[in-house]
């Protein structure tokens, strides 16, 4: 369309300048050709089904939105059964339906909690019902008064040996379960976390399967109070989810509904703890944190796809002599804000793939009763969840600004994406609380290494993602050899300064903590610095995993070259952003920092002709993107114009309320002016 400056062919032109094979990049992004094919098939299946339309979602009332979510979930299940979809296909289909709902918690937390914490017998009993949706489950851990502090939960499960039952009770207002998704209206069952009390002794938090609603008419069972906790941030967005409140008034459940893989209560009421570490109680959270890291790249890539395509369409200002207006994507400021986000999307994708591998590896070891890698899995999932979700939430908001005024419209898709995404910084562990978990590990290792630095070559070496800390003698005194901007293209040069920065920050913290009257006081006082040290460590993991990815065989003309540029951009934009860390720890000089920035500018210029193709490689349908600004065909302006007319305000030409409020006001002012 030539009308009004919209130029859909603009994107075709952009695609023609790509210097790499987009199909090859799709494979690198998805992980395999098979993954591209399945994702593509499921995305198209959803996009072509009218039940899954979501273009008017932000205009629905809460009740309409919730009902629409129930309809979509039931329809999705019907299609999964009819088409006999595999688990992989079904997960993707649900992903592309793209509407948060009770099914996320049923499959994402209820089923994994039973798998991870239930005995074989319990799994045999409950999982088939859950798999067939004969019951719907949620994960009820957080309470009104306690979320982060799991050990502080108040709900009690008191064993009554006379009846061979547990009595579930909410002793205070603050013990009300508060937040669990799917609890408010949909779930029939929950895995409830409560303090186990038997023989008069409190054994701390354990999981219990509790039926909440009748399977005949869905009404709450006697002694169970249930409801939704109310509207949440943004229109549409996470309001499709029935986050709920739950109170128990002495509700009885059979003893065998305590999840007994980790510990048991015998018929006589004896508490028995098996040889597995009690931290496995937190296993479901580790699993979900790992999936959240993979999801960060999805949310970020969606926002970046919208912002890149729209920036190629949008034009502002011409050359001095009245020439055509410039695509905003050509502005260096737009590139320096947008391309690091594009690089971050790829970085998070690859670290997410690695974390999935780590999680699978740890799970296999746990099955073989090898618990040695559990702390590594906890620290990596907690740290990566924290860093990737915080950065992604900020990045979605930045993409909204990169789209100017139109980014603020619901039809851009960005406000809803932000509203759905931003609670990821809080759920599954507040991001600050999780980073403090990482810093505990770093502090312990740094303290140990400082004490044993002389014997470090012979002492116990740190392994896994903290292995670099074992290289303390070199990393504490090394100086970067970078001498030209291009020297920063060397992955070894990048890795060395990221390792040195992370280690020096951890050691500085440990030294300062050791000067405090007690370790606890020191830890508390230094906690802001500890957070920064944890961020530096996690950023190092992301950079390292990107570099390692590039050591793999990556087929397709030009694909690896583009990824190398993105990897450099990812690392160097962090170096630029955290220059203070790198300078104050003496890892680089001011000149080397300036050289890194010089190279960044050059890399942005090299990415520019590939930008649209790099977001095409995410392979998102227009349905999934849900944005008039991010349309594949670039036909933005007619779509924006058309979308506006769908707003309920435009159903009448003269607005409701005119007769009561506008007309009398106007008439009165007219009368006054005539006096
Ligand atoms: C594909 C499907 C996806 C489905 C869902 C997808 C996306 C999500 C979508 C929507 C959101 C939906 C659901 C959201 C759900 C929730 O939010 S559920 C509730 C989540 N709650 C939390 O995350 C609470 C956060 N708090 C904690 O995890 C812990 O309490 C904390 C880590 C803060 C530890 O507290 P602390 O009191 O210090 O420690 P403990 O005494 O409890 O434990 C101390 C030792 O245990 C180690 N440890 C802690 N956590 C773990 C773990 N997860 N794994 C292994 N080990 C762990 C800790 O390091 C200590 O070890 P040492 O004693 O030092 O050796
Ligand atoms: C959309 C959404 C969905 C959810 N779904 C579920 C669900 O399905 N099931 C479920 O059980 N829960 C769920 N939750 C609850 C969620 O897990 C908790 O909200 C989360 O763990 C944070 O706990 P909190 O709310 O107690 O925050 P708080 O811990 O009260 O945090 C408040 C502030 O205190 C700070 N803070 C807390 N502790 C420390 C500390 N030790 N040091 C320094 N600062 C600290 C935090 O950084 C934060 O700034 C959900 C929450 C949301 C928002």
Which tens digits make up the pLDDT trace of 139-179?
999 999 999 999 999 999 999 999 999 999 999 999 999 99
Q: For the domain that residue 494 is a member of, what is the CATH number? A: 1.20.140.10
**193 CA closest ligand 2 atom index:** 11
Q: Is 112 in the pocket of ligand 1 (CB under 6 A)?
A: no
Question: What SS3 string covers 156-222?
Answer: EEEEECCCCEEEEECCCHHHCEECCCCCCCCCCEEEEEEEEEECCEEEEEEEEEEECECCCCCCECC
Q: Is residue 109 part of a domain?
A: no
Inside any domain, residue 208: yes
77 CA distance to ligand 2 centroid (A)? 31
Is 598 within 8 Å of 60 (Cβ atoms)?
no
Q: Is residue 402 part of a domain?
A: no
Residue 198 structural domain: 137-274
Ligand 2: atom nearest CA of 109 is 8
List C-alpha distances in Å: 452 to 447, 463, 545. 9, 16, 28
What is the number of helices (H) and of strands (E) in the chain? 24, 13
Which ligand 1 atom sits nearest the alpha carbon of residue 433?
A: 33
Q: Does residue 112 form part of some domain? A: no
pLDDT tens digits for 197-237? 999 999 999 999 999 999 999 999 999 999 999 999 998 89
**Residues lining ligand 2, CB < 6 A?**
105, 139-142, 147-148, 179-181, 238, 243, 423, 426-427, 429-430, 432-433, 436
Residue 172 lies in a domain: yes
CB 431 less than 6 A from any atom of ligand 1: no
| CB distance 227 to 179 below 8 Å | no
Residue where one domain finishes, among candidates 245, 274, 303: 274
Cβ of 449 closer than 6 Å to ligand 1, yes or no, is no
How many folded domains does the chain comprise?
2
- CA nearest to 196, candidates 273, 106, 127: 273
Say if CB 624 and CB 55 are below 8 A apart: no
What CA–CA distance (Å, rounded) separates 444 from 249? 44
Pocket flag, ligand 1, residue 26 (CB < 6 Å):
no
Task: Report, as an integer, the average pLDDT of 131-138.
Answer: 97
8 A C-beta contact, residue 419 and residue 100: no
The residue among 616, 634, 655 that closes a domain is 616
Asked whether residue 474 is domain-assigned, the answer is yes
Q: Is the pLDDT of residue 513 over 90?
A: yes
Tokens standing for residue 43 = 């995305």
Catalytic positions, written as ranges:
428
**ipTM for the complex shown:** 0.97
Domain boundary among 274, 301, 329: 274
Q: What is the pLDDT at residue 444?
A: 84
What ligand is nearest to the CA atom of residue 356?
A: 1
Most confident of 3-12, 207-216, 359-368: 207-216
Residue 471 in any domain: the answer is: yes
pLDDT for 3 equals: 40
Residue 422 DSSP symbol: G
Average pLDDT score over the chain:
95
145 belongs to an annotated ligand binding site: no
In whole angstroms, give the CA distance from residue 122 to residue 156: 21
- Tell whether 657 is in a known binding site: no
Confidence of residue 459 (pLDDT cuts 50, 70, 90): low
Taking the model in full, what pTM does it have?
A: 0.96
Cα angle 408, 414, 416; round to 5 = 100
Burial class, 189, CB count within 10 angstroms (exposed 0-12 / middle 13-18 / buried 19+): buried
For the stretch 391-413, pLDDT in tens is 999 999 999 999 999 999 999 99
Q: In this structure, which residue's CA is closest to atom 52 in ligand 2? A: 427
- Whether residue 568 lies inside any domain: the answer is yes
Ligand 2 atom nearest to CA at 431: 47
**What separation in Å is there between the alpha carbon of 146 and the centre of ligand 1?**
13
Q: Write the pLDDT tens digit of every residue in 266-319.
A: 999 999 988 888 888 899 999 999 999 999 999 999 999 999 999 999 999 987
The pair of structure tokens assigned to 370 is 């090898």
Q: From the CB of 476, is ligand 1 less than 6 Å away?
A: no
pLDDT at position 129, please?
98
pLDDT tens digits for range 253-270:
999 999 999 999 999 999
180 lines ligand 1 (CB under 6 A): no
Cβ atoms of 191 and 179 within 8 Å: the answer is: no
Q: What does the pLDDT look like over 515-574, one tens digit per residue?
A: 999 989 999 999 999 999 999 999 999 999 999 999 999 999 999 999 999 999 999 999
Q: What is the mean pLDDT of residues 480-488?
A: 98
| 7 pLDDT more than 80 | no
User: How confident is the model at residue 438, as a pLDDT?
Assistant: 94
Using DSSP's 3-state secondary structure scheme, residue 232 falls into: coil
Check whether 481 has a pLDDT greater than 70.
Answer: yes
Question: For residue 155, what are the CA distances in angstroms to 137, 146, 167, 262?
Answer: 19, 10, 10, 19
* Ligand 1 touching residue 148 (CB < 6 A): yes
Any idea what the Cα angle at residue 329 is, between residues 328 and 332, rounded to 5°?
A: 95
- 429 CA → ligand 2 middle, Å: 6
Model confidence pLDDT, tens digit, residues 66-124: 999 999 999 999 999 999 999 999 999 999 999 999 999 999 999 999 999 999 999 99
CA 507–ligand 1 middle distance (angstroms): 26
Longest dimension (CA), the chain: 98
Percentage of the chain with pLDDT > 70? 98
Mean pLDDT calculated for residue range 611-632: 98
CA-nearest residue for atom 41, ligand 1, is 151
Question: In this structure, what CATH number is given to the domain that contains residue 197?
Answer: 2.40.110.10
Q: Is the CB of 429 under 6 A from ligand 1?
A: yes
pLDDT at 275: 82
For residue 224, what are the β-bridge partners? 248
Q: Residue 461: which pLDDT band, with cuts at 50, 70 and 90?
A: confident
Nearest CA to ligand 2 atom 6: 180
């Amino acid at each position: 369309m030539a009308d009004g400056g919209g130029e859909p062919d603009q994107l075709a032109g952009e695609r023609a300048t790509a210097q790499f094979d987009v199909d090859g990049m799709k494979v690198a992004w998805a992980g395999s050709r098979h993954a591209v094919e399945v994702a593509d098939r499921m995305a198209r299946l959803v996009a072509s089904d009218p039940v899954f339309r979501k273009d008017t979602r932000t205009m629905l009332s809460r009740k309409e939105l919730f009902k629409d979510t129930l309809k979509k979930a039931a329809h999705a299940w019907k299609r999964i059964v009819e088409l006999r979809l595999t688990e992989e296909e079904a997960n993707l289909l649900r992903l592309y339906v793209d509407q948060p709902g009770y099914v996320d918690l049923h499959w994402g937390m209820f089923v994994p909690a039973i798998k991870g914490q239930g005995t074989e017998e319990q799994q045999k009993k409950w999982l088939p019902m859950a798999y067939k949706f004969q019951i719907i489950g949620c994960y009820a851990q957080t309470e009104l008064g306690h979320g982060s502090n799991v050990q502080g939960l108040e709900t009690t499960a008191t064993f009554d040996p006379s009846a061979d039952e547990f009595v579930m009770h909410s002793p205070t207002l603050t013990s009300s379960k508060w937040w669990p998704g799917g609890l408010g209206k949909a779930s029939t069952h929950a895995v409830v976390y409560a303090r186990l009390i038997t023989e008069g002794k409190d054994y701390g938090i354990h999981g219990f399967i509790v039926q909440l609603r009748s399977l005949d008419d869905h009404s709450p069972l006697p002694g169970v109070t249930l409801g939704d906790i109310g509207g949440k941030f943004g229109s549409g967005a996470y309001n499709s989810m029935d986050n709920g409140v739950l109170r128990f008034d002495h509700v009885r459940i059979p003893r065998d509904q305590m999840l007994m893989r980790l510990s048991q209560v015998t018929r006589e009421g004896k508490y028995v703890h098996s040889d597995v570490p009690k931290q496995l109680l937190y296993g479901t959270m580790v699993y979900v944190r790992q999936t959240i890291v993979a999801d960060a790249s999805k949310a970020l890539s969606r926002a970046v796809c919208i912002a890149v395509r729209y920036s190629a369409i949008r034009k502002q200002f011409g050359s001095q002599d009245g020439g055509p207006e410039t695509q905003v994507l050509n502005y260096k400021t737009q590139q320096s804000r947008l391309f690091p986000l594009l690089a971050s999307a790829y970085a998070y994708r690859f670290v997410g793939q690695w974390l999935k591998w780590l999680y699978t590896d740890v799970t296999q070891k746990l099955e073989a009763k090898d618990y040695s890698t559990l702390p590594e899995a906890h620290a990596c999932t907690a740290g990566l969840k924290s860093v990737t979700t915080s950065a992604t939430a900020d990045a979605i908001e930045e993409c909204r600004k990169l789209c100017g005024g139109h980014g603020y419209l619901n039809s851009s898709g960005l406000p809803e994406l932000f509203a759905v995404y931003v609670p990821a910084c809080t759920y599954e562990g507040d991001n600050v609380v999780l980073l403090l978990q990482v810093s505990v590990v770093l502090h312990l290792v740094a303290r140990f290494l400082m004490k044993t630095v002389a014997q470090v070559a012979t002492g116990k070496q740190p392994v896994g993602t903290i292995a670099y800390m074992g290289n303390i003698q070199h990393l504490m005194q090394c100086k970067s050899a970078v001498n030209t901007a291009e020297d920063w293209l060397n992955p070894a040069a990048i890795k060395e300064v990221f390792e040195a920065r992370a280690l020096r920050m951890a050691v500085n913290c440990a030294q300062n903590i050791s000067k405090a009257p007690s370790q606890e006081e020191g830890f508390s006082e230094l906690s802001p610095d500890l957070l920064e040290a944890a961020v530096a460590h996690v950023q190092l993991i992301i950079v390292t995993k990107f570099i390692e990815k590039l050591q793999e065989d990556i087929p397709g003309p030009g694909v690896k070259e583009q990824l190398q540029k993105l990897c450099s951009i990812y690392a160097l934009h962090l170096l630029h952003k955290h220059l203070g860390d790198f300078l104050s720890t003496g890892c680089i000089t001011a000149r080397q920092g300036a050289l890194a920035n010089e190279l960044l500018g050059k890399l942005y210029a090299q990415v520019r002709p590939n930008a649209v193709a790099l977001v095409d490689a995410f392979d998102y349908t227009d349905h999934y993107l849900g944005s008039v600004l991010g349309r594949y065909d670039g036909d933005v302006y007619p779509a924006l114009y058309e979308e506006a007319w769908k707003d309920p305000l435009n159903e009448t030409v003269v607005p409701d309320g005119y007769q009561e409020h506008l007309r009398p006001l106007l008439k009165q002012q007219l009368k006054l002016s005539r006096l």
